[in-house]
Amino acid sequence: MKLPISWLNDWIETDAAPGRIAEALTQLGFYVGGIETRGHAFPGVVVARVIEVAKHPNADQLSLCRVDGGSGELSVVCGAPNVRAGMMVPLATVGAKLPGGLVIRRSKIRGEESQGMLCSASELEISDDAEGILDLERWAGSSGPLTIGRPFDELLEPPDAVLEVEVPFNRPDGLGVVGLAREVRAALGARWTGAATARLAARWSGRADFDLDLEDREGCPRYIAQAIEGVRIEPSPPWLSGRLESMGQRSVNAIVDLTNLILLEFGQPLHTFDLARLAGPAIRVRRARAGESLVTLDGRSRALNPEMLVIADRERAVAVAGVMGGADSEVTRATTSLLLECAWFDPRTVRRTSRALGLASEASKRYERGVDPEIGPAAAARFLGLLREVCPSARLAAARERNHLDGRRRTLQLRPSRCARLIGMDLGGAEARRQLESFEFQVESGDPLRVSVPSWRPDVSIEDDLVEEVARGHGYDRIPESALASPGTRPVRSERERRIARARAAMLARGLNEAWTPTLVSEREAADAARLVGIDPAHLTRLMNPTSRESEVLRPSPVPGLLRACAHNLRQGASAVRLFEVGTGFRAGEGALPDESTWLVALVCGARYAHAHDEAQQPLDFADARGSWESWLEEMRVDSPEWRAYSADGWKPGASAEVATRTSRIGWAGTLHPSLLRGWDIEVPVHLFAVLLDALAPLAAPTRVSLPGRFPPVRRDLAFFVPAATTHHEVKQTLIRAAGDALQSIEVFDVYSGPGTPEGMKSLAYALQFQNAERTLNETEVQGIQNRMVMAVTKKCGGRLREK
């Protein structure tokens, strides 16, 4: 909403600078985003008469003029073709400053002295017209007599400041100049102007002979209909079109402009029908009939339904109530009689209708937030008062008001103690009363205060709303800043928070950047990511109203976004991409809400080192990636995770695994299939790791540590031939079980299946370390354990010791 200071001054008496007024409005919650200046001052520019025009002796295009600017004759060189003797012109005298910043100096032009400059409209920035010198006698913009030497400023409205005000959602009164004037008045302690008081007190009154019927009294409890005859549709006078232009609106004609003026001033929408086009003439405010339709002012045909409120004549709908008029009854150049509508419509009804039609207007915007139900008669009176000015031929004819509003104001109680408790300072009942009264609430003293709420304040409905009014009036800036008191609560970091913090830190330590990627992804991306971890794409969750195909499905895990980021970085020439994300994945749940789970997904591809200039620099492979994931699991204290072969669409066959603890499956890892990667335009191998963070056991340190052994450890290596299909995991588990407590560590150090291996077998070699907590192990004991281990592998895995 724009607020021209000149218009504000029409309503309240204040000489405060625009900046001060902006400050006051902002402090009250009407944020002023900017101040624009309209129009200019023209110091040094005067009204002058051209006495004589002669050709410039040295230039064909220029003329040499003698000019009377009120203080003696001047000689001025001029290049405009339209200059002629006797013409009244704006003369910029020496020292004058033009709006564009040009300062006029005495100068010589082609050898002839010029003691000023004759100006075009565009040089004065009053219009775009650069076609010659402004002929003041033909110029419509001037007011007052063209006296030679008169300052040009006096011909124009003075420059005006226009505030750009952000009106809060709950303050429909702020959508009118009067409403904003009330706030400024409260803040600055200003008085209404005499004219303003008269306008606010004015009440429409008219005959009671128009055929008006309110069939839906809930949707429309109040309606004033006023017929006007003898109307001539003409352009607006400059003051009216200027005022609308200062609000950023185009002038149409005097009648339309006048309704817009009232809308902007009082926040009360008015509508005018061409009376001759109304059957009856009559007005019925009713629900639309099933199947009824209407062509609205914007030329579109609207299908109506009985949920919608319409204005109808005796036969058909002629307007969508509070939203937009019909094209058929629009006021045109040919209109000679009008019907003025000044009504109050129920906010919810207008809102429903506006939404159902997908049609909003300046009127519907105000009605749906709540127009002052009491302002109608004053607004209608103001309209008719101004109509006499802009259209003297108009005569009032038939009219009718119907009003089913009770006119009672809401009353609330305010305990000063409640006020003190919420604000944190005790202002006392008297100050509360003073502040409320400044906003025109009526207050009866006492405890509690009895407060009656003005009709234009639908936002004030409970006691705490009054507290806000008191705080606003007193000034939020004057509320003290309390020392932060001890609350009786203590901050806790949950186990889950700590676990997630460690999960992130451990990934960062492995040289992966943390990414935050979009939740909303495409159908294909989500489906591909779902299959990777065994989720049926049918269980994905989709948006009902997506804004693009690229973001219409909720990700099942952060995989799609990470692949997007991977592709982006590769396109930008990255030699490696190493990213992880901790984020939510979604899938359809049992009830209305989807299931949400917290994932950690990590992705690596490209060079093994950030830098290496020797043979160590290679593209990293699955073993590199898996090594990081394993050490991450160790850092997360995952107890002996098991890597099991796993296959699903999207993984490279034979290069993917699921990871499980003794109790649950916690994640998936592997190399992605080139065909899946092609969906993201990725052409290099990408290794992925996806973990369900909530499936990890709580991070817990042991309650009793085990003492590290202090006796000499014994090292042994054992190599076995085992059937090719036997996994390392089986052999390792067999060895561990056979060895018992003395086995401190076991690592596989060689896997071989080349020449020298028996048919159908492979070789696995293990480095073992034995240690006893209480004493040194002797050779016999170690040999005994070793024999048990060999025996177990022979029996359980079908293997045998590989002799040296």
Partner 1 sequence: MKKRDSHPRSGVFPEAWDRGPDPETLVPGQAAKLAELREIAPPRAADYERASRGLAGAADPAELLERHSMILGRERGQVTLALGEVGKLPIEERKRTGRALNLIKRWLAEISEARRSQLEAAADSRSGPDVTLPGRRPWVGRPHVLAQIQSELLDLFHGLGYSVYESRESELDEYNFGKLNFAPDHPARDAHDTYFLSPGVVMRTHTSPGWVRAMEERRPPLRLVFPGRVYRAEQVDASHMDQFHQIDGLNVGPDVSMADLKGTLNTFARSIYGERVRTRLIPIYFPFVEPGCQMDVSCVICDGRGAVTENGSERRCSVCRGSGWLEVLGAGMVHPNVLRAVGYDPEQVTGFAFGMGLERIAMLRHGVPEIRLFLENDVRFLGQF
Site for partner 1 in 50-69 (CB under 8 A): none
For the bound state, the minimum distance from the C-beta of residue 360 to partner 1, rounded and expressed in Å, comes to 10
Q: Measured from the CB of residue 590, what is the shortest distance to partner 1 in angstroms?
A: 13
The distance of closest approach from Cβ of residue 619 to partner 1 in the complex, given in angstroms and rounded to an integer, is: 13
**613 in contact with partner 1 (CB under 8 A):** yes
CB of 568 to partner 1, least distance (A): 6
Residue with tokens 């003190």: 420
CA 371 – CA 358 distance, rounded (Å):
21
The whole-angstrom separation of Cα 236 and Cα 233 is: 9
Which range of residues in 3-11, 323-331, 440-448, 593-601 is near partner 1 by CB under 8 A? 593-601
- Say how far apart CA 365 and CA 229 lie, in whole Å: 30
Taking the complex as a whole, the smallest distance from the CB of residue 721 to partner 1 amounts, in Å, to 37
Q: Is 491 in the site for partner 1 (CB under 8 A)?
A: yes
Closest distance between partner 1 and the C-beta of residue 570, in Å?
A: 10
Q: Distances in Å between the alpha carbon of 480 and those of 14, 423, 425, 431?
A: 30, 9, 7, 16
* 490 binds partner 1, rule: CB under 8 A: yes
Residues from 409 through 428 that contact partner 1 (CB under 8 A): 421-425
Residue in 290, 334, 484, 705 binding partner 1, rule: CB under 8 A: 484
Collapse the DSSP code of 456 into the 3-class scheme (helix H, G, I; strand E, B; otherwise coil) and give the result: coil
Q: Going by DSSP bridges, is the β-strand pair 411-414/442-444 parallel, antiparallel, or unpaired?
A: unpaired
Residue 86, token pair as written in the block: 């006797």
CB-nearer residue toward partner 1: 250 or 355: 355
Residues 161-190 that bind partner 1 (CB under 8 A): 168-171
* Cα dihedral across residues 794, 798, 803, 804: positive or negative: negative
* Window contacting partner 1 (CB under 8 A); options: 323-331, 590-598, 641-649, 675-683: 590-598
431 scored as a contact of partner 1 (CB under 8 A): no
Residues 714-753 that bind partner 1 (CB under 8 A): none
**Site membership for partner 1, residue 449 (CB under 8 A):** no
Matching residue, tokens 């749906």: 368
Rounded least distance, CB 7 to partner 1, Å: 22
Helix (H) or strand (E) holding 444: strand 442-444
Residue selected from 13, 234, 447, 596 as contacting partner 1 according to rule CB under 8 A: 596
Q: Is 472 in the site for partner 1 (CB under 8 A)?
A: yes
Residue 225 or residue 470: which is nearer to partner 1 going by CB?
470
Cα–Cα distances in Å, from 68 out to 65, 92, 109, 526? 10, 12, 20, 81
Of the candidate residues 139, 192, 609, 646, the single one contacting partner 1 (CB under 8 A): 609
**Whose CA is closest to 457, among 182, 714, 119?**
182
Choice between 301 and 548, CB closer to partner 1: 548
Residue 98 or 187 with smaller CB distance to partner 1 = 187
CB atoms within 10 A of CB 441: 23
Query: What distance in Å separates the CA atoms of residue 75 and residue 81, rounded to the nearest whole number?
Result: 17
Site for partner 1 (CB under 8 A): which residue of 593, 645, 684, 748? 593
- The verdict on 368 binding partner 1 (CB under 8 A) reads yes
Please tell me whether residue 483 binds partner 1 under the rule CB under 8 A. Answer: yes
The answer to the question of residue 755 lying near partner 1 (CB under 8 A) is no
Residue 623 binding partner 1, by CB under 8 A: no
In the range 503-562, which residues lie near partner 1 by CB under 8 A? 504, 507-520, 541-548, 551, 554, 561
Phi, psi at 770, each rounded to 5°: -110, 145
The residue with tokens 């009120």 is: 70
399 pairs with which residues across the strands? 226
Structure tokens belonging to residue 277? 């086009």
Nearest Cα to 265, choosing from 180, 340, 346? Answer: 180
Instruction: Give me the least distance between CB of 423 and partner 1, in Å please.
Output: 5
Reference 156, options 41, 12, 297; nearest CA is 41
Nearest CA-CA partner of 8 in 155, 173, 192, 147? 192
CA torsion sign, 782 to 788 to 790 to 796? negative
Q: In the stretch 331-350, what mask flags binding to partner 1 with x, by CB under 8 A?
A: -----------------x--
- Give the integer Cα–Cα distance in Å for 319 and 340: 13
Interface region with partner 1, contact rule CB under 8 A, candidates 189-197, 255-263, 480-488, 658-666: 480-488
Sites for partner 1 among residues 122-151 (CB under 8 A): none
Task: Identify the DSSP state of 320.
Answer: E
Pairwise CA distance, residues 506 & 498, whole Å = 12
Q: Output phi, psi for 47, to 5 deg.
A: -80, 130
Four-CA torsion 668, 674, 676, 677, nearest 10 degrees:
90
Selected range binding partner 1 among 140-148, 224-232, 586-594, 673-681, rule: CB under 8 A: 586-594
Instruction: Choose which of 21, 399, 467, 714 interacts with partner 1 (CB under 8 A).
Output: 467
Instruction: Supply φ then ψ for residue 700, to 5 degrees.
Output: -145, 135
Q: How far is the CB of 382 from partner 1 (least distance, A)?
A: 27
Q: 3-class SS at 416?
A: helix
Question: Could you say which of 612, 751, 773, 791 contacts partner 1 (CB under 8 A)?
Answer: 612
Q: Does 462 bind partner 1 (CB under 8 A)?
A: yes
Q: What is the largest CA-CA distance in the chain?
A: 133
Contact between 358 and partner 1 per CB under 8 A = no
Structure tokens at 334: 């040919």
Q: Cβ(292)–Cβ(286) under 8 Å?
A: no
Least distance (Å) between residue 545 CB and partner 1 = 6
Between 232 and 496, name the residue whose CB sits nearer to partner 1: 496
Least Å from the CB of residue 324 to partner 1? 18
Nearer to partner 1, 169 or 774 (CB): 169
- C-beta closer to partner 1: residue 213 or 431: 431
Q: Which of residues 654-693 bind partner 1 (CB under 8 A)?
A: none
Distance separating alpha carbons of residues 283 and 210, to the nearest angstrom = 8
Buried b vs exposed e over 756-781: b needs ≥16 C-beta within 10 Å? eeeeebbbbebebebbbeeeebeeee
The answer to whether residue 790 forms part of the interface with partner 1 (CB under 8 A) is no
Closest CA to 70 of 90, 53, 52, 84: 90
Residue ranges with strand state E in 367-409: 395-403
Please give the size of the binding site for partner 1, defined by CB under 8 A: 99
Site string for partner 1, 6-45 (x = CB under 8 A): --------------------xxxx-x-xx-----------
Of 201, 334, 538, 592, which one interacts with partner 1 (CB under 8 A)?
592
Q: Does 706 bind partner 1 (CB under 8 A)?
A: no
Nearer to partner 1, 44 or 448 (CB): 448
373 counts as binding partner 1 under rule CB under 8 A: no
- Paired sense of beta strands 112-114 and 107-109, if any: antiparallel
Q: Are 193 and 352 in contact (CB under 8 A)?
A: no
Using alpha carbons only, give the angle 382, 387, 393 rounded to the nearest 5 degrees.
Answer: 150
- Applying CB under 8 A, the span of 118-126, 153-161, 501-509, 740-748 interacting with partner 1 comes to 501-509
Which residue's entry shows tokens 């914007």? 298
Residue closer to partner 1 (CB basis): 236 or 598: 598
- The stretch near partner 1 (CB under 8 A) out of 262-270, 401-409, 470-478, 765-773 is 470-478
Q: How far apart are CA 34 and CA 31, in angstroms?
A: 9
Residues 560-579 contacting partner 1, CB under 8 A = 561, 565, 568-569, 572, 574, 576-579
Per-residue binding string, partner 1, 289-328, x by CB under 8 A, is ----------------------------------------
